[in-house]
């Protein structure tokens, strides 16, 4: 038996009602078309050639007319025998059914002449209104008009109404229907929360600050990498503030039509000023706030006009003091300087990656509704996730819950968390990848080389896991976890890190007397780090305390083409290459010495990897 389906997103029965209504409308249209067609065919049911009225009288006197039907001034009839006459194209045709018209001045003797000739006369009432012609010409126009109105209403319901193109697309936060988010729902980011809490307090109690001459900031810009909680903080502001809160994305201003973006900016601030005090939240500000004049073909484009209007509304000739603009972006380096000056975005709040303590709080927040086994230690997990953002941590616990459910566990165990962390950091396990024993042996010694070098060097981070199970794009992995978060890295740490990266290639050469493509990523990262040490950090022997990349890389193609990238001579470039080569060579030699000293441990670890995994 077939199951009854309904349209998604509609209550049950709504789709059926709309379907019956549409069927009824099309049925009425079909009936009208059939009626019009019937009337038109009836009007031309007995077609006839038009003859002159005088010719009609001659034929009647000669007894050639068999019958006549009168409809006002219009006479239609049938001849006893056909006659021949020329048509409108000058060709002779045979005519038996004819049409003629009584002159406007009338003919009082017509009836007597027809009776004398024995003509059968029929009279019909004169049609006061040509319904057939109306249906024939007007009905198609009405149908097209109805179809057009339906299409117009559908476009209007989809938000594509041409008459409201310039209206703002901002959504107003509804405190009664929306899920309320408060600052208590935001873990970590204590500094950013304090800045935003002050904005909320300023809107609620402006006298507390204005009595000392303080003014409310006009704009707050949230900066930080993706997933650090910028939008979450904005939702907390919406939940805490007791004023209207307008939400819009930077891309919502842009449209193909010229001038629409600027019109939407004006409309947004007009609505906010009417509801003042109010807050406007613009997500992904970089989509409209990019630096002006950076294109190759000139700067007069729709995006720049939208930005100009935004600058004017925030701090132009007609300034406002009761509308706060909160914006978020992860590309503050591309923003126009006019946006970042005081008077527009007065405060720039950095929402950075969480520290170890912040990660612990975030994990506890997201673990509230998840049954964790007693063996799961969130403190250790926070230490094992350096560089994770808040979104990454939430995804980690969610993946652990999904893996536990897939394994039919009654709670989330430590093995589920470890598998989830490997899945998030390294990717899915490639179970369908078949490796022969020789390839597995190469992988085992490669990863064992990394691990032995990391364990033997004094400034390397402690080992956490070594694996030769292919995951994602990696054929194996050696994970190191720092004992604490590091923000400043000494030269010794950098040299040991490069040596650990060289450990895989050194083990391949030492044990197998070969080199494989598996060291590609290691060599790239080691070369990049060595070049950073020489060019940016001044950590080489012959080029100490010097930086050669003074200016930051320009993200705009238009300006980059007009700049000279290299800020040093060819001789200095050769010297830089020599220093990078020296750092890499010495790191490789240190890795080889460590592996030769701990050769027995290298072999035992490789054998353990081959047997255990």
Which residue numbers are catalytic? 447
Q: Which segments of 304-451 are extended strands (E)?
A: 323-329, 347-350
Dihedral of CA atoms 327, 329, 333, 335 in degrees, nearest 10, equals: -40
The label of the residue with tokens 């729709």 reads 302
- Helix %, strand %, coil % for the chain, to 5? 50, 15, 35
Closest CA to 224 of 331, 317, 383: 331
Structure tokens at 180: 């309320």
Contact status, residue 208 vs residue 201, Cβ threshold 8 Å: yes
**CA 420 to centroid of chain Cα atoms:** 27
| Cβ-based neighbours of 239, under 8 Å, separated by 6 or more | 175, 180, 181, 182
Contact status, residue 252 vs residue 170, Cβ threshold 8 Å: yes
Contact status, residue 453 vs residue 498, Cβ threshold 8 Å: no
DSSP annotation string for 474-495: BS-EEEE--SS--SS--HHHHH
CA distance 257 to 478: 53
| Cβ-based neighbours of 597, under 8 Å, separated by 6 or more | 456
Phi and psi, residue 349, nearest 5°: -100, 120
**CA 577 to centroid of chain Cα atoms:** 43
The label of the residue with tokens 């990262």 reads 525
Pair type for strands 323-329 and 171-172: unpaired
CA distance 320 to 318: 7
**CA 295 to centroid of chain Cα atoms:** 23
Count other C-beta atoms under 10 Å from residue 21's C-beta. 10
């Amino acid at each position: 038996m077939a199951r009854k389906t309904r349209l998604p997103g509609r209550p049950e029965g709504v789709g059926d009602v709309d379907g019956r209504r549409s069927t009824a409308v099309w049925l009425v249209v079909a009936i009208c078309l059939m009626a019009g067609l019937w009337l038109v065919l009836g009007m031309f049911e007995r077609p006839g050639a038009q003859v002159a009225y005088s010719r009609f009288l001659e034929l009647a006197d000669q007894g050639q007319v068999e019958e006549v039907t009168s409809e006002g001034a219009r006479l239609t009839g049938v001849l006893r025998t056909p006659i021949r006459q020329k048509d409108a194209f000058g060709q002779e045709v045979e005519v038996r059914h004819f049409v003629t018209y009584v002159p406007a001045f009338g003919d009082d003797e017509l009836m007597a002449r027809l009776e004398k000739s024995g003509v059968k006369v029929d009279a019909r009432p004169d049609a006061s209104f040509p319904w057939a012609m109306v249906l024939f010409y007007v009905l198609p126009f009405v149908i097209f008009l109805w179809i057009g109105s339906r299409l117009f209403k559908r476009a209007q319901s989809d938000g594509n109404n041409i008459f409201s193109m310039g209206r703002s697309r901002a959504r107003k936060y509804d405190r009664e229907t929306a899920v309320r988010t408060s600052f208590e729902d935001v873990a970590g980011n204590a500094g950013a929360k304090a800045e935003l809490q002050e904005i909320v307090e300023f809107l609620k109690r402006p006298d507390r600050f204005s009595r000392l001459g303080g003014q409310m900031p006009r704009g707050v810009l949230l900066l930080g990498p993706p997933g650090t909680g910028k939008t979450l903080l904005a939702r907390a502001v919406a939940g805490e503030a007791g004023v209207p809160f307008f939400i819009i994305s930077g891309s919502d201003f842009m449209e193909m039509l010229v001038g629409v973006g600027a019109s939407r900016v004006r409309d947004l601030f007009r609505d906010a000023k009417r509801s003042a005090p109010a807050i406007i939240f613009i997500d992904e500000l970089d989509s409209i706030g990019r630096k002006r004049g950076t294109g190759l073909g000139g700067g007069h484009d729709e995006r720049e006009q939208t930005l100009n209007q935004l600058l004017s509304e925030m701090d132009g000739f007609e300034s406002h003091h009761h509308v706060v603009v909160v914006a978020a972006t992860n590309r503050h380096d591309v923003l126009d300087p006019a946006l970042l000056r005081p008077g527009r975005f007065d405060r720039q709040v950095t929402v950075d990656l969480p520290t170890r303590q912040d990660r612990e709080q975030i994990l506890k927040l997201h673990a509230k509704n998840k049954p964790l086994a007693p063996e799961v230690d969130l403190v250790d997990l926070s230490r094992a996730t350096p560089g994770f953002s808040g979104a990454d941590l939430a995804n980690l616990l969610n993946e652990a819950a999904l893996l536990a459910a897939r394994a039919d566990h009654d709670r989330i165990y430590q093995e589920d968390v470890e598998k989830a962390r490997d899945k998030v950091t390294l990717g899915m396990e490639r179970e369908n990848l078949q490796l022969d024993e020789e390839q597995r042996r190469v992988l085992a010694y490669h990863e064992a080389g990394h691990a032995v070098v990391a364990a033997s060097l004094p400034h390397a981070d402690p080992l956490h896991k070594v694996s030769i199970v292919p995951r994602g794009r990696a054929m194996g992995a050696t994970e190191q976890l720092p004992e604490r978060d590091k923000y400043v890295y000494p030269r010794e740490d950098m040299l040991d890190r490069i040596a650990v990266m060289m450990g895989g290639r050194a083990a391949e050469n030492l044990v197998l007397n070969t080199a494989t493509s598996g060291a590609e990523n290691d060599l790239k990262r080691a070369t990049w780090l060595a070049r950073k040490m020489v060019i940016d950090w001044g950590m080489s022997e012959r080029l100490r305390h010097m930086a050669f990349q003074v200016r930051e890389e320009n993200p705009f193609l238009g300006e980059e083409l007009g700049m000279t990238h290299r800020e040093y001579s060819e001789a200095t470039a050769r010297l830089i290459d020599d220093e990078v080569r020296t750092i890499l060579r010495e790191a490789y030699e240190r890795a080889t010495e460590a592996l030769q000293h701990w050769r027995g441990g290298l072999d035992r670890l490789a054998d353990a990897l081959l047997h255990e995994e």
